[in-house]
């Protein structure tokens, strides 16, 4: 055996003796991607002032959200602005205990300028009510605020241009739990490119807010047999809220 192979064997035996069963290996490609993502995040710089970590009063939250909406203005930061009818800022209680974050507006949302008002929205509203809330009690937003053409997934440059705003909304509202709906929302907020089927059902952290990923309501419209999984995730959220 060569010296290197012997060294590796000794190290692996050591880990095995310590009870370690798997050693994650970061391939060169993966580590390059992680590096690129970090750089892209740093490059996005916005004027929005950092929010104090201290508790904001409802009045302060309201004016911070208004200031944020003004900052967005008649946004032309990405190509989605070309085809939109309305910017869908987000809506709900500024004192919400739960914030639901989806991917981006569809046709109905684009027309009405409100999040989750189409078929997927009706299903989300049912879930919210089944959890014991009214729709007005929670806050609902999206990763991108303008409709992607033909409801395609938002692209990376669009997500990078827009997601600082929903992050800021979450910081301002400071809910007790965030529920991220679907792959795009979850991967954007927690920064892990892992399939939603693997991520859902466990708590992650967004800033210092617990985040529960679950399936997107549009997925449930296509796969109603998986509704029980979303209900399981919702129950974990309720437990976390002490309900
Ligand atoms: N899908 C989303 O992700 N968001 C909406 O607002 C509507 C549908």
39 vs 97, residue with greater confidence: 97
Average pLDDT, the chain: 88
Task: Check pLDDT > 50 for residue 43.
Answer: no
Q: What is the CATH number of domain 75-241?
A: 3.40.470.10
Instruction: Tell which one of 103, 138, 179, 215 to mutate to probe ligand 1, the residue whose CB is within 8 A of the most ligand atoms.
Output: 103
Is the pLDDT score of 90 beyond 80?
Answer: yes
Please report, for the chain, the start and end positions of each structural domain, with discontinuous segments joined by +. Answer: 75-241
pTM of the predicted model, to two decimals? 0.81
Question: Among residues of the chain, what percentage have pLDDT more than 90?
Answer: 77
CA 61 to ligand 1 centroid distance, Å: 24
C-alpha span between 90 and 113 (Å, rounded) = 9
pLDDT digits (tens, 9 = 90+) for 134-167: 999 999 999 999 999 999 999 999 999 999 999 9
Atom of ligand 1 nearest to the CA of 102: 3
So what's the pLDDT on residue 18?
A: 53
């Amino acid at each position: 055996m060569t010296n290197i192979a012997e060294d590796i064997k000794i190290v692996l035996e050591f880990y095995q003796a310590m009870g370690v069963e798997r050693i994650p290996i970061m391939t060169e490609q993966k580590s390059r991607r992680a590096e690129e993502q970090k750089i892209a995040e740093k490059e996005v710089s916005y004027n929005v002032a950092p929010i104090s970590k201290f508790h904001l009063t409802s009045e302060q939250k309201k004016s911070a959200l208004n200031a944020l909406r003004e900052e967005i203005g008649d946004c032309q930061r990405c190509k989605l602005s070309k085809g939109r009818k309305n910017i869908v800022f987000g809506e709900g209680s500024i004192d919400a205990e739960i914030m639901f974050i989806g991917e981006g507006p569809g046709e109905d949302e684009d027309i009405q300028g409100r999040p989750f008002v189409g078929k997927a929205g009706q299903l989300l509203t049912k879930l919210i009510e089944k959890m014991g809330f009214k729709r007005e009690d929670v806050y609902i937003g999206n990763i991108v605020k303008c409709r992607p053409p033909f409801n395609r997934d938002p692209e990376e440059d669009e997500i990078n241009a827009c997601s600082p705003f929903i992050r800021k909304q979450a910081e301002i509202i400071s809910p007790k739990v965030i529920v991220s709906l679907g792959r795009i929302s979850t991967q954007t907020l927690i920064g892990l490119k892992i399939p939603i089927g693997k991520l859902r059902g466990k708590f992650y952290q967004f800033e210092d807010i617990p985040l529960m990923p679950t399936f997107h309501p549009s997925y449930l419209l296509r796969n109603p047999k998986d509704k029980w999984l979303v209900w399981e995730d919702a129950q974990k959220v309720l437990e976390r809220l002490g309900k």
